[in-house]
Amino acid sequence: MIMKERCTPVVVSGLQLLLTRLLPHYPLRTYLEDELAKYLSGYKGEQSIDFHMKHLPQKEYLIFHNLRIPHNDSYFQLDILILTPYYFFIIEVKNFSGKLYFDQDLFQLIRTYNGIEEAFADPISQLKRQRYCLLDWLKNHLYSEIPVEAVVVISNPQTQIKVSPGRSKVYKWITHKINLPEKIRYFDQKHTEERLSMKDLRKLSKGLLKAHTPSIPNLLQKYQILEDDIVKGVACPSCGLIPMIRNTRKWFCPSCKCYSRSAHIQALKDYSLLFGPTITNSQFRDFIQLESRTIAKKYLLSMDLPTSGELRHRKYHLDFDDWRD
């Protein structure tokens, strides 16, 4: 049973939005496109695992996608977590092409692709840290008697995998996605003692979902993008043109002649993803290129947004669940 669905990562939604709102000749556009391609590759790799998990018994396997849990002064993130009454299973998904060499002497991953070698942080070390953090979190919440298995799944079936000489035991931490069902069967046979009832698992599930803390990246800060580089205005829901023109209580697109009464709502979502979760009347008017303070206030109040502050210092809180992971 899916307890937490996989959603499009916020960083993917944010980069897609940035590329639609950056000035056409922005100098780092190609770099941002490459960043988007990298994150999309990882996301598609995670999606490709679903086919190999769909035959799991729905009543006994509780599945969580992209959990991010506080731990000490930081967080740990799990691509996929499976809870069973007998054991828990962490899956870390990597979508690499080419040849992978897991150097367990220097704890790094060397990827060779199109004749070019690149070094990456060791996914196995990352996985072991995630496992340790989950075990520690479970212990702190009085769930310390259940085994936790973990594996790095390489989602590209053409990727070659090698490890350091004499380190063949490392293979237990790595597998191709096609072998994932076999891994799960192995763990099912290994762990036969029931540690938690389904009632306890559901209680734990609620605790994990409550602890989940989405990551909301500040992309403008991360990529050092100035506010002046952002194209402001309401985007046409039909052709994407920015800005639309407000015409007799509607938004009008001079390019495709589309009309919309609600296009400003998406503009608010764009603002929240780019600039943060609060907005003032003045900031709203500036972003959607609207002069009337009264009309802007009417738009904001019509959405029943939570507010703080009074009069000209009032802030509207933009909490849009549809882009949070």
Residues 182 and 275 in one domain: no
Do the domain assignments include residue 136? yes
Tokens representing 236 are: 């046409």
Bridge partners, 121 (sequence order): 108
Do the domain assignments include residue 43? yes
Q: Which of 211, 241, 268 is the last residue of a domain?
A: 211
CB-based contact 62:4 (threshold 8 Å):
no
Residues 179 and 148 in one domain: yes
pLDDT the model gives residue 82: 96
pLDDT the model gives residue 215: 85
Residues 312 and 193 in one domain: no
Do the domain assignments include residue 226? no
CB-based contact 128:146 (threshold 8 Å):
no
Residues 281 and 140 in one domain: no
Do the domain assignments include residue 218? no
Residues 71 and 101 in one domain: yes
| Rounded alpha-carbon distances, angstroms, from residue 302 to 246, 253, 316 | 17, 23, 12
Residues 263 and 299 in one domain: yes
Do the domain assignments include residue 280? yes
| Rounded alpha-carbon distances, angstroms, from residue 204 to 44, 158, 207, 230 | 28, 37, 5, 43
Closest CA to 284 of 240, 247, 318, 238: 318
Residues 66 and 200 in one domain: yes
Do the domain assignments include residue 303? yes
Instruction: Give the domain CATH number at 60.
Output: 3.40.1350.10
Residues 130 and 246 in one domain: no
Tokens representing 176 are: 């191709």
Residues 183 and 260 in one domain: no
CB-based contact 158:178 (threshold 8 Å):
no
pLDDT the model gives residue 115: 92
Residues 19 and 130 in one domain: yes
CB-based contact 318:272 (threshold 8 Å):
yes
Q: How many residues does the chain have?
A: 325
Residues 262 and 121 in one domain: no
pLDDT the model gives residue 313: 84
Q: Which domain holds residue 32?
A: 2-211
Do the domain assignments include residue 222? no
Peptide bond before residue 217 is cis, with ω within 30 degrees of 0: no
Instruction: Give the domain CATH number at 308.
Output: 1.10.10
pLDDT the model gives residue 324: 54
Write out the chain's pLDDT in tens, 325 residues. Answer: 899 999 899 999 999 999 999 988 899 999 999 999 999 999 999 999 988 887 777 678 999 999 999 999 899 999 999 999 999 999 999 999 999 999 988 999 999 999 999 999 999 999 999 999 999 999 999 888 899 999 999 999 999 999 888 888 888 999 999 999 999 999 999 999 999 999 999 999 999 999 999 888 899 999 999 999 999 999 999 999 999 999 888 999 999 999 999 999 999 999 999 998 999 999 999 999 999 999 999 999 999 999 999 877 899 999 766 555 5
CB-based contact 253:241 (threshold 8 Å):
yes
Do the domain assignments include residue 88? yes
pLDDT the model gives residue 24: 83
Residues 59 and 106 in one domain: yes
pLDDT the model gives residue 310: 86
Query: Considering the entire predicted model, what is its pTM?
Result: 0.88
Domain count, the chain: 2
Q: Which of 211, 241, 275 is the last residue of a domain?
A: 211
